[in-house]
Amino acid sequence: MATKARMPFLGDELFREAYLRMRVSSEAVIDPALHWRVHQVVWAVKNCMKLRGDFVECGTGKGLMMSAALTSIKNWDDCGKKLFLFDSFEPYGLDPETGRNSESQGIREKYAESAEKVRLNFSSWANVELIQGQLPESLSNASFTEIAFLHLDLNHAKSEVLVLRRLWNHIVDGGIVILDDFGSTDEQNIALNSLSSELIFDILSTGTSQGIIIKRVIK
């Protein structure tokens, strides 16, 4: 992404540490150039640390974004929050119709190899729980009641709508949702904008294709 904007966060030591941790999780030899995505996630979790409720990620993959996020939170182990990571933790691409991993779609290097490997990636932090299974069904296997931060990255419009609709009432006032794929396809954009009209929220479009929602409870 080309920009003339100043980017002072690139020189911030905490950001640099978080970004490096993301690169470790990615296992990529070449830098995936996700600086703005990591910056926006780090900004969101910093603000959500001030709220009650846990952190949830649906579509974790290898754990790039949330490993960066936890690296940026130096008191994570003692803060009283939990992080719930939902994924099939399978390496296969998604069937475009069902949104489920399918061997027919081949192996995707960016996807998780296994739940065990992702669990090892997060082993240096306390209060992290992996929930393996299909979404939205596997949401019932977690014990959270309130959500301060939600990262949604399922690469499938219908699945993301089902998950966000189901979790919406758990998100606290002021809670932040980052939609990783909001601007990636017309299907994603149309589906999530339709849901925003139904649940009455606004989505900020960003240059990274992420969408950002700040929940406000209407009284």
> Each residue of 161-198: pLDDT tens digit?
999 999 999 999 999 999 999 998 899 999 999 999 99
Q: pLDDT, tens digit, for every residue of 43-61?
A: 999 999 999 999 999 999 9
CA distance 158 to 150: 17
Tell me if 213 sits within 8 A of 172, measured CB to CB.
no
Q: Which CATH superfamily is domain 9-214 in?
A: Vaccinia Virus protein VP39 (3.40.50.150)
**Three-state DSSP state, 196:** helix
Tell me if 128 sits within 8 A of 190, measured CB to CB.
no
Q: pLDDT, tens digit, for every residue of 123-134?
A: 999 999 999 999
Helix (H) or strand (E) holding 86: strand 83-87
pTM attached to this predicted model:
0.94
